[in-house]
Structure 1
Amino acid sequence: MTARAGGEPTAAAPADGPPVVELSHASFAYPDGPLVLDGLSWALPPGRATALLGRNGSGKTTLLRLLSGGLRPASGELRLRGEPVAHDRKGLTRLRTTVQLVVQDPDDQLFAASVEQDVSFGPLNLGLEETEVLARVEEALDALDIAALRDRPTHLLSFGQRKRAAIAGAVAMRPRVLILDEPTAGLDPHGQERLLEVLARLRAAGTTVVMATHDVDLALRWAQDAALLTPEGLHAGPAAAVLARAEHVAAARLRRPWGLAATDVLRAHGLLSPAAPGPRTPEELDGYAG
Structure 2
Amino acid sequence: MSGSGSAVVELVGAGYAYEDGPAVLSGVDFAVPEGRSLALLGRNGSGKTTLLRLLSGGLRCASGRLRVAGEDVTYDRKGLTRLRTTVQLVVQDPDDQLFAASVGQDVSFGPMNLGLPEAEVRARVREALEALDITALEDRPTHLLSYGQRKRAAIAGAVAMRPRVLILDEPTAGLDPHGQERLLEVLDRLRGSGTTVLMATHDVDLALRWADDAAVLTPGGLRTGPVDRVLADDALLDAARLRQPWAMAVARLLRSRGLLEPDEAGPRTPEELDAWAAVAREV
Which bracket does the TM-score occupy, shorter chain normalised? over 0.9
Deviations 1:240-268 (A, max 9, x none): 11111111111111100000000001111
Structure 1 stretches of 4+ with a deviation exceeding 4 A read: none
Are the aligned partners of 1:13 and 1:43 in contact in 2 as well (CA < 8 Å)? no
What CA distance in whole angstroms lies between the structure 2 residues aligned with 1:151 and 1:171? 18
RMSD between aligned residues: 0.7
| 2:235 alignment counterpart | 247
What CA distance in whole angstroms lies between the structure 2 residues aligned with 1:174 and 1:267? 44
Match among 182, 185, 189 for residue 197 of structure 1: 185
Are the aligned partners of 2:38 and 2:212 in contact in 1 as well (CA < 8 Å)? yes
Are the aligned partners of 2:2 and 2:213 in contact in 1 as well (CA < 8 Å)? no
Percent sequence identity is 74
What amino acid maps onto 2:14 in structure 1? A
Structure-1-length-normalised TM-score: 0.95
What CA distance in whole angstroms lies between the structure 1 residues aligned with 2:275 and 2:108? 45
| 1:9 alignment counterpart | none
| 1:100 alignment counterpart | 88
**SS state at 2:82 partner:** helix
Deviations 1:152-193 (A, max 9, x none): 000000000000000000000000000000000000000000
Deviations 1:76-100 (A, max 9, x none): 1100000000111111110000100
Are the aligned partners of 1:271 and 1:288 in contact in 2 as well (CA < 8 Å)? no
Are the aligned partners of 2:205 and 2:245 in contact in 1 as well (CA < 8 Å)? yes
Deviations 1:52-99 (A, max 9, x none): 111111000000000001001111110000000011111111000010
Where does the alignment leave 5 or more consecutive residues of structure 2 unmatched? none
What CA distance in whole angstroms lies between the structure 1 residues aligned with 2:229 and 2:146? 37
| 2:57 alignment counterpart | 69
Where does the alignment leave 5 or more consecutive residues of structure 1 unmatched? 1-11
**SS state at 1:20 partner:** strand
What CA distance in whole angstroms lies between the structure 1 residues aligned with 2:240 and 2:199? 16
Q: How does 1:117-266 map to 2 (within 5 A)?
A: 117-266=105-254
Equivalences, count: 278
Q: How does 1:40-119 map to 2 (within 5 A)?
A: 40-119=28-107
**SS state at 1:206 partner:** coil
